[in-house]
């Protein structure tokens, strides 16, 4: 093929030349060109290599259906987009694109040897050959196959672009901006409702853009559309998926058609559209013909040749042969001839064609050969000529030509219709499936509904040829290199359903989802099986209609906005102090506060010692909080928690243990009774939403007679935990309205008053084993109170500590952390929390399950402490524990380490674990096998500091 | 004044601050700004009459409707946005729940011809028919919010405090992007 | 994303406002202690998994916050009907 720019015609702007590069060479096109049209105009024939055989390939189509001309567009570092269809890449100044799937160059590709040995790679070859041995998959097959097969390369650098997303609502959504779509939008606009019209091209018009006779109508329709204030037109937008209840996903390309320097704002926008009615006007895709040599570069769809000539002013070659089975090929040939393209011949498989077409062709000086079929295409990197014969088997004749156009009929685009679960009905007239009955409020119009006159034709499976199909390189799926012979082979090997044939041959499984191959594949299978197409079925279309970027699908969830990171009101202070943070659920919390280059270990040892010896302060604001209010509040809590709540006096706090109905620990926390009918609950940071949801569930659906209501107050209160022997002294000057004396305000009491002038709920509670308070103040005052406490604490050596120190201090006391020391299979007894279970209560959530036989069976894992024989040895959390390290592998594992720290108070490392019958093993030695060695540890009670609890009441 | 911390998690650092942001969405002007200080109350009762009597105020009887600063969010749930300094009776001993949640949430106003488009970037509700006097709990992408239509083209958005920076920056990013300010 | 009709809000609302709550109409026994182990196991763990109509619980978590019940077809993902907690399943509804 030696394409060239026609002297006139097309919708391009010949006053605006555009320079671009392809595979390192400079080219020039015009504004209004696609990369494909500009390359063809520049005489480029070879545009890519095929996926499996790396065969040289040229352009096939004109739009989204293009299987061959996949290119990589380079918009600068990290902005490299592979696998774009050259037919849909708008030309802009400075565009840099390259072909794919070739090495070292497009013209000379070593993997094309695959093609020479093509007989070795029939359908099913991979399935059958690479099944054994299994290890070879990792070592050999997969890496080699990945190198040989594959599309463009993914960019490796971070994507610097940003993406937008929006929801939209309309009464009528029209998908497809050809004549039928525009008319549907104009009709819908009359009703006054909101109308959205989506089209994937730069310019509205669809197929009419390639038909000069329709341009005046198009101009008129577009003017009328512009006058409708209730119509939103989204150009360069692809509707990629049709979901339940008329929910459509679409991606609008915002900047890729612009030169990088002119591109501002987001690159793409995800549209999530809910429509009252959807009108599909997606048009139809022309079908290739299957014959020997139909993939030689220069063989393409007639509609592509027409589009190049009429829309872009480009001739696909200097001598063009049309191979038709459909009237549209003749019309295309005539239109191209009129536009100045030399049509050497029209060959039609039909014996009889409409008289007007034949006459017009003869009048235009075009040789006509009816009842004939192309039997061979000569040329490897470009078409040099064709041979054809009457009925494919008669004497062969030769025509020199440099382009072959295929007109195999039309396939209505029913992709979105099928996404929407609409039924399909086989149409003999079209030789294709048409929309049948809709499930959604949806209708199809224009060519995709079969309601557009494209002429008539015959549907063929493979063009007749003297050579057997197995000896022909007659391609069905150009992107996945599936030939007619592969489908024959699949049927021979016993595949009957099109779903099996598809998977065996990979027909239609490439990124183009078989837009040009599905129907031909079906037709061939039907012929070989001797059964009607409709009996063989049709493979399912699934979103996306065309490949979409991850960026578009993520919308604004990128970089800093990737997901909300929740921060407490103390976060700024911690940041200023140089805190190291960790994520806990979706909160970020200060983990430790290193001073002067301290390691985490050093910082945590210092923070722990400060709490034990003086006083520490900790931001506990992320704890979940629930206000439980109503006359039945105590009754409700009594049913939820394991322990009794009715007798708790206002002004007192209690540890609450929450089980799931299956008896396993779900959450815990200390809660206070503020008044007879008001409780202040706390939950773990990560469990807050889960606990509230579970409590609401019981309240709404099981005990809806109770007069009690739950309000999340997690974010209402900032919480400052003040812990250590000096805690009382620190807050004494700040607190008013509360008697802090130990007798008046004992451990597990709660009082209301003010601190630093701010109303507070002050609880005397401890998660460290030290004298401690939790200061609850309204969140917006939290920072002020934090600063006041910090200032007041200076005289007492106050030290801020983070979650790591909090974990160590509680571990020294054997306090559990739900979700770390428990894993969803632990009972209160397993964790040594029997004391928190109300034995006399008739019922609570999970109680009945605790009575199931396995819940206290011997051999259950129990919560214990571990002390390594080497006091400096720190166990790894999650490490498995065994009783006999010499047992044969796989050796029986009896438990695992749940927590392990360096303890300042113990002067050594400590660990917590859950071990089968652990309490009976106290004093025994267990073993923790690690790579290359075995660690010995002694089982202890889970308590490493102040077992009498004397410090609490200091 | 409400402080909207910059977001600096990874990659792009968004630091819009707390000043009102003006921009365009879908070619229409929008202004987002922190709302004036308010008191907030979560009000619950099985019997609206009991709650109304307990707090001495009228309550809307339809879900999604606002009367005098109180929205009905659900069959037994109301939410009050009242002037700073307002104190409601606690309803002690009554079959009601009155919980002050002033500090729990912060409010933004989203105003202008493009306000619906600005909210639609993350809210799946069709707000075109959401007339002044209506309020609902919903989501902006993954974050729970309340949207109150307070006047034509004017919306008050409530969001829990720790989600506010993300929401603010998400809204502001949409405006800036369209206005080409970034 | 589907739309779900909330029987409390009396509106079709987007799916992202809702959370799924498992099979409907499994009441917690009033006196769990009266159940033997097999009965309790059945209450805890045994659920139907029909192909087709399924009575299930949903919660309008980011709306009115109420739990309600629905008959949904597990093949088509269509909601046949939604109704308030405590109300009887409509006649002929799958259990
Ligand atoms: Zn609802």
C37 vs A: CB within 8 A? yes
Half-sphere exposure (Cβ direction) of C50: Cα atoms closer than 13 Å: 17
Contact call for C63 and B125, based on CB within 8 A: no
- Give the pLDDT of residue A538: 82
Q: Which residues of chain A have pLDDT under 50?
A: none
Res C46 pLDDT > 70: yes
- Give the pLDDT of residue A280: 98
Which of C63, C65, C85 to mutate against chain B (most B CBs within 10 Å)?
C63
CA of A630 to the centre of ligand 1 (A): 23
Q: Which helix (H) or strand (E) holds A29?
A: strand A25-31
A541 min Cα distance to partner chain C (Å): 16
CA distance B103 to B37: 10
Strand partners, A84: A71
Placement of tokens 């920072």 in the chain: A783
- Give the pLDDT of residue C94: 45
Contact call for A715 and B173, based on CB within 8 A: no
- In chain B, what is the greatest distance between 2 CA atoms, to the nearest angstrom? 57
CA of C83 to the centre of ligand 1 (A): 11
Q: Select from A245, A693, A702 the Cβ nearest to the Cβ of C28.
A: A702
- Give the pLDDT of residue B178: 46
Give φ, ψ of A656 to 5 degrees.
-115, 135
Beta-carbon contacts of residue A359 (< 8 Å; ≥ 6 apart): none
- Please report, for the domain that includes residue B122, its CATH number: 3.30.1360.120
C78 min Cα distance to partner chain B (Å): 19
- Which two three-digit tokens encode residue A930? 């690690």
Q: Provide, for chain A, the percentages of residues in helix, strand and coil under a 3-state DSSP scheme, each rounded to the nearest 5.
A: 25, 30, 45
Res B3 pLDDT > 80: no
Q: What does the pLDDT look like over A202-253, one tens digit per residue?
A: 999 999 999 999 999 999 999 999 999 999 999 999 999 999 999 999 999 9
Indicate if B45 and B133 belong to the same structural domain.
no
- Give the pLDDT of residue B7: 67
Q: Provide, for chain B, the percentages of residues in helix, strand and coil under a 3-state DSSP scheme, each rounded to the nearest 5.
A: 20, 40, 40
B181 vs A: CB within 8 A? no
- Give the pLDDT of residue B182: 36
Contact call for B103 and A779, based on CB within 8 A: yes
Distance (Å) of CA A76 to CA A71, A157, B15: 15, 11, 27
Instruction: Tell me the residues of chain B between 15 and 34 that have a Cβ less than 8 Å away from chain A.
Output: none
Segment C68-76 shows an average pLDDT of 95
- B13 lies in a domain? no
- B27 lies in a domain? yes
Contact call for B120 and A166, based on CB within 8 A: yes
Burial zone of A449 (CB within 10 Å; 0-12 exposed, 13-18 middle, 19+ buried): buried
- Give the pLDDT of residue A51: 76
Half-sphere exposure (Cβ direction) of C67: Cα atoms closer than 13 Å: 23
Indicate if B97 and B56 belong to the same structural domain.
yes
DSSP state of A566: B
Q: What does the pLDDT look like over A528-578, one tens digit per residue?
A: 999 999 888 887 889 999 999 999 999 988 888 889 999 999 999 999 999
CA distance B42 to A437: 49
Minimal CA–CA distance to A69: which of A96, A17, A103, A34? Answer: A34
Which of C16, C30, C65, C67 to mutate against chain A (most A CBs within 10 Å)?
C67
Burial zone of C49 (CB within 10 Å; 0-12 exposed, 13-18 middle, 19+ buried): exposed
**Number of domains chain B contains:** 2
Segment B109-127 shows an average pLDDT of 97
- B115 lies in a domain? yes
Contact call for B163 and A265, based on CB within 8 A: no
B72 vs A: CB within 8 A? no
State the pairing for strand pair A343-348/A320-324.
parallel
- In chain C, what is the greatest distance between 2 CA atoms, to the nearest angstrom? 43
Q: Select from C19, C37, C61 the Cβ nearest to the Cβ of A852.
A: C37
- Give the pLDDT of residue C84: 95
Strand ranges in A817-873 using DSSP code E only, listed in sequence order: 861-868
Q: What does the pLDDT look like over B42-85, one tens digit per residue?
A: 999 999 999 999 999 999 999 999 999 999 999 999 999 999 99
Alpha helices in A741-887 (DSSP H): 779-793, 803-812, 847-850
A350 min Cα distance to partner chain B (Å): 53
Q: Are C22 and C57 in contact (CB under 8 A)?
A: yes
Half-sphere exposure (Cβ direction) of A132: Cα atoms closer than 13 Å: 1
In degrees to the nearest 10, what's the CA dihedral of A53, A54, A59, A63? 80
Indicate if B140 and B61 belong to the same structural domain.
no
Q: In terms of C-beta distances under 8 Å and separation of at least 24 residues, what long-range contacts does A419-424 make, across chains too?
A: A419/A241, A419/A242, A419/A243, A419/A541, A419/A542, A419/A543, A419/A545, A420/A242, A420/A243, A420/A246, A420/A278, A421/C76, A424/A538
CA of A696 to the centre of ligand 1 (A): 15
B122 vs A: CB within 8 A? yes
B85 vs A: CB within 8 A? no
Q: Which of B49, B75, B102 is the last residue of a domain?
A: B102
Helices H / strands E in chain A, number of each: 24, 50
Q: Which of B102, B137, B157 is the last residue of a domain?
A: B102
Minimal CA–CA distance to B39: which of B101, B107, B123, B124? Answer: B101
Q: Which chain residues have CB less than 5 Å from ligand 1, an ion? A: C 6, 8-9, 60, 63-64
Q: Are A747 and A952 in contact (CB under 8 A)?
A: yes
Q: Select from A572, A711, A778 the Cβ nearest to the Cβ of B102.
A: A778
State the pairing for strand pair A163-175/A268-280.
parallel
Alpha helices in A142-238 (DSSP H): 142-148, 179-190, 215-226
- Please report, for the domain that includes residue B85, its CATH number: 3.30.70.1520
CA of C58 to the centre of ligand 1 (A): 10
Minimal CA–CA distance to B179: which of B71, B7, B64, B26? Answer: B26
Q: Select from B5, B161, B166 the Cβ nearest to the Cβ of A779.
A: B161
The domains found in chain A, sorted by start residue, are 4-129 (3.10.20.440), 163-284 (3.50.50.60), 623-713 (3.30.70.1400), 811-840+853-940 (2.40.30.110)
Q: Which helix (H) or strand (E) holds A329?
A: helix A327-339
Burial zone of A348 (CB within 10 Å; 0-12 exposed, 13-18 middle, 19+ buried): buried
CA distance A296 to A401: 12
B52 vs A: CB within 8 A? no
- Which two three-digit tokens encode residue A166? 């929006």
Q: Which of B84, B102, B120 is the last residue of a domain?
A: B102
Q: What does the pLDDT look like over A471-507, one tens digit per residue?
A: 999 999 999 899 999 999 999 999 988 889 999 999 9
Contact call for A704 and C40, based on CB within 8 A: no
pTM attached to this predicted model:
0.93
CA of C2 to the centre of ligand 1 (A): 15
- Give the pLDDT of residue A108: 62
Which of B60, B73, B74 to mutate against chain C (most C CBs within 10 Å)?
B74
Which of A716, A717, A758 to mutate against chain B (most B CBs within 10 Å)?
A716
- Nearest residue of C to residue B144, measured between CA atoms: C62
Range of the domain at B79: 39-102
Fold entry, domain C17-26+43-95: Folate-binding fold (3.30.2270)
B169 vs A: CB within 8 A? yes
- Give the pLDDT of residue A952: 85
Alpha helices in A171-227 (DSSP H): 179-190, 215-226
Res B9 pLDDT > 90: no
Q: Are A50 and A35 in contact (CB under 8 A)?
A: no
- Give the pLDDT of residue A559: 85
- Nearest residue of C to residue B72, measured between CA atoms: C64
Chain A CB contacts of C33 below 8 Å: 842-843, 847-848, 851
Indicate if B158 and B109 belong to the same structural domain.
yes
- B76 lies in a domain? yes
- Give the pLDDT of residue A798: 98
Chain C CB contacts of B139 below 8 Å: 16-17, 62
Neighbours of chain A (3+ CB pairs under 8 A): B, C
- B60 lies in a domain? yes
Contact call for B9 and A562, based on CB within 8 A: yes
Q: What does the pLDDT look like over B51-60, one tens digit per residue?
A: 999 999 999 9
Give φ, ψ of A650 to 5 degrees.
-55, 140
CA distance B154 to B32: 10
Minimal CA–CA distance to A571: which of A820, A765, A779? Answer: A779
Minimal CA–CA distance to A193: which of A249, A232, A243, A244? Answer: A232
State the pairing for strand pair A13-22/A95-99.
parallel
CA distance A110 to A124: 23
- B73 lies in a domain? yes
Burial zone of A426 (CB within 10 Å; 0-12 exposed, 13-18 middle, 19+ buried): middle
Segment C68-86 shows an average pLDDT of 94
Indicate if B136 and B152 belong to the same structural domain.
yes
Crossing angle between the packed helical segments A518-529 and A498-505, to the nearest 10 degrees: 120
Beta-carbon contacts of residue B54 (< 8 Å; ≥ 6 apart): B45, B89, B91, B94, B96, B98
Indicate if B94 and B154 belong to the same structural domain.
no
Helix (H, G, I), strand (E, B) or coil at B168: helix
Indicate if B54 and B28 belong to the same structural domain.
no
CA distance C90 to C95: 10
């Amino acid at each position: 093929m030696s394409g060239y720019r026609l002297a006139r015609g097309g919708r391009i702007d010949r006053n605006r030349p555009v320079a671009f590069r392809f595979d390192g060479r400079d080219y020039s096109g015009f504004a209004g060109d696609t990369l494909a049209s500009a390359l063809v105009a520049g005489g480029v024939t070879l545009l890519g290599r095929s996926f499996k055989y790396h065969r040289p390939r040229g352009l096939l189509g004109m739009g989204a259906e293009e299987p061959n001309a996949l290119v990589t567009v380079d918009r600068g570092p990290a902005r490299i987009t592979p696998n774009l269809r050259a037919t849909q890449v708008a030309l802009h100044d400075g565009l840099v694109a390259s072909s794919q799937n070739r090495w070292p160059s497009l013209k000379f590709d070593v993997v094309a040897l695959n093609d020479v040995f093509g007989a070795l790679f029939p359908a099913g070859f991979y399935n059958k050959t690479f099944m054994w041995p299994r290890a070879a998959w990792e070592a050999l097959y997969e890496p080699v196959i990945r190198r040989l097969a594959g599309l463009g390369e993914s960019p490796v650098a971070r994507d610097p672009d940003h993406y937008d997303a929006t929801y939209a609502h309309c009464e009528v959504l029209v998908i497809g901006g050809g004549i039928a779509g525009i008319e549907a939008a104009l009709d819908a606009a009359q009703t006054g409702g909101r109308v959205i019209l989506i089209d994937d091209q730069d310019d509205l018009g669809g197929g009419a853009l390639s038909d000069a006779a329709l341009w005046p109508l198009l101009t008129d329709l577009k003017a009328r559309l512009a006058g409708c204030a209730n119509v939103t037109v989204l150009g360069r937008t692809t509707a990629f998926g049709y979901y339940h209840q008329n929910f459509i996903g679409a991606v609008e390309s915002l900047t890729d058609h612009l030169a990088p320097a002119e591109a501002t704002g987001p690159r793409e926008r995800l549209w999530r559209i809910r429509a009252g009615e959807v009108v599909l006007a997606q048009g139809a895709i022309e079908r290739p013909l299957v014959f020997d040599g139909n993939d030689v570069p220069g063989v393409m769809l007639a509609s592509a040749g027409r589009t190049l000539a009429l829309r872009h002013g480009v001739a696909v070659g200097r001598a063009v042969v049309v191979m038709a089975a459909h009237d549209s090929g003749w019309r295309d040939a005539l239109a191209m001839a009129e536009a100045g393209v030399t049509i050497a011949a029209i060959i039609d498989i039909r014996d009889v064609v409409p008289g007007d077409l034949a006459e017009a062709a003869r009048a235009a000086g075009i040789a006509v050969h009816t009842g004939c079929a192309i039997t061979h295409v000569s040329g490897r990197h470009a078409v040099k000529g064709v041979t054809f014969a009457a009925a494919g088997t008669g004497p062969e004749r030769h025509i020199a030509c440099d382009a072959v156009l295929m007109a195999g009929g039309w396939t209505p685009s029913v992709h979105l219709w099928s996404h929407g679960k609409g039924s399909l009905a086989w149409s003999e007239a079209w030789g294709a499936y048409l929309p049948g009955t809709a499930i959604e409020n949806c209708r199809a119009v224009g060519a995709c509904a079969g309601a557009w006159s494209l002429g008539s034709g015959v549907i063929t499976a493979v063009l007749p040829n003297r050579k057997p199909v197995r000896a022909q390189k007659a391609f069905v799926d150009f992107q996945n290199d599936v030939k007619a012979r592969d489908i024959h082979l699949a049927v021979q090997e016993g595949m009957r359903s099109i779903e099996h044939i598809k998977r065996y041959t990979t027909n239609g499984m490439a990124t183009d989802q078989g837009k040009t191959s599905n129907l031909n594949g079906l037709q061939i299978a039907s012929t070989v099986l001797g059964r009607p197409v409709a009996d063989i079925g049709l493979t399912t279309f699934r979103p996306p209609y065309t490949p979409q970027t991850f960026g578009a699908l993520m919308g604004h969830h990128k970089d800093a906005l990737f997901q909300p990171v929740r921060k407490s009101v103390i976060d700024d202070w911690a940041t200023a102090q140089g805190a190291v943070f960790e994520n806990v659920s979706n909160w970020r919390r200060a983990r430790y506060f290193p001073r002067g280059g301290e390691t985490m270990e050093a910082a945590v040892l210092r923070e722990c010692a400060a709490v034990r010896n003086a006083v520490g302060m900790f931001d506990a604001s992320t704890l979940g909080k629930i206000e439980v209010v109503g006359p039945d509040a105590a009754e409700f809590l009594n049913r939820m928690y394991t322990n009794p709540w009715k007798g708790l006096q206002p002004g007192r706090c209690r540890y609450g243990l929450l089980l799931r109905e299956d008896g396993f620990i779900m959450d815990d926390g200390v809660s206070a009774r503020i008044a007879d009918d008001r409780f202040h609950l706390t939950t773990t940071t990560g469990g807050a939403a889960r606990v509230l949801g579970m409590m609401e569930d019981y309240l709404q659906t099981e005990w809806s007679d109770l007069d009690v209501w739950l309000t999340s107050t997690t974010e209402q209160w900032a919480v400052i935990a003040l812990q250590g022997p000096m805690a009382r002294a620190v807050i004494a000057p700040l607190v008013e309205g509360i008697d802090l004396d130990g007798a008046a305000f004992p451990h597990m009491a709660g009082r209301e008053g003010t601190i630093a002038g701010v109303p507070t709920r002050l609880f005397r509670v401890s998660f460290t084993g030290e004298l401690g308070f939790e200061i609850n103040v309204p969140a917006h005052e939290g920072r002020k109170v934090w600063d006041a406490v910090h200032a007041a604490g200076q005289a007492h050596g106050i030290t801020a500590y983070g979650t790591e120190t909090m974990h160590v201090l509680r571990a020294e006391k054997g306090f559990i952390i739900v979700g770390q020391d428990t894993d969803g299979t632990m009972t209160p007894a397993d964790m040594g929390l029997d004391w928190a279970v109300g034995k006399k209560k008739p019922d609570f959530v999970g109680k009945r399950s605790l009575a199931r036989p396995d819940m206290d069976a011997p051999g259950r894992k129990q919560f214990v402490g571990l002390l390594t024989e080497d006091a400096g040895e720190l166990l790894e959390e999650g490490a498995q524990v065994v009783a006999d390290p010499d047992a044969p592998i796989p050796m029986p594992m009896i438990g695992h380490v749940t927590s392990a720290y360096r303890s300042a108070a113990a002067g050594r490392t400590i660990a917590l674990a859950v071990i089968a019958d652990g309490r009976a093993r106290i004093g025994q030695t267990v073993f923790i096998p690690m790579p290359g060695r075995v660690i010995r540890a002694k089982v202890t009670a889970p308590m490493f500091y102040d077992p009498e609890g004397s410090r609490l009441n200091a | 004044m409400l402080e909207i911390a910059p977001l600096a998690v990874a990659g792009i650092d968004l630091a819009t601050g707390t000043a009102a942001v003006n921009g365009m969405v879908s070619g229409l002007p929008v202004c987002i700004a922190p709302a004036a200080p308010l008191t907030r109350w979560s009000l619950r009762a099985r019997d609206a009459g009991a709650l109304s009597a307990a707090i001495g105020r009228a309550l809307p009887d339809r879900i999604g409707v606002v009367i005098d600063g109180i929205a009905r969010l659900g069959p037994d749930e109301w939410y009050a946005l009242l002037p700073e300094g307002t104190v409601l009776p606690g309803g002690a001993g009554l079959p009601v729940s009155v919980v002050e949640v002033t500090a729990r949430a912060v409010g933004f106003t989203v105003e202008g011809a493009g306000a619906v488009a600005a909210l639609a970037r993350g809210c799946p509700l069709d707000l075109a028919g959401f007339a002044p006097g209506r309020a609902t709990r919903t989501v902006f992408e993954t974050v729970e919010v309340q949207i109150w239509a307070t006047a034509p083209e004017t919306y008050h958005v409530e969001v829990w405090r720790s989600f506010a920076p993300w929401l603010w920056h998400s809204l502001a990013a949409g405006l800036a992007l369209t206005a080409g300010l970034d | 994303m589907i739309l779900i009709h909330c029987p409390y809000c009396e509106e079709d609302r987007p799916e992202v406002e809702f959370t799924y709550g498992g099979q409907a109409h499994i009441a917690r026994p009033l006196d769990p202690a009266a159940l033997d182990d097999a009965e309790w196991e059945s209450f805890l763990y045994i659920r139907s998994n029909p192909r087709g109509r399924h009575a299930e619980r949903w919660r309008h978590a980011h709306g009115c916050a109420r739990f309600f019940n629905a008959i949904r077809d597990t093949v088509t993902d269509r909601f046949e009907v939604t109704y308030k907690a405590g109300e009887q399943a409509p006649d002929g509804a799958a259990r």
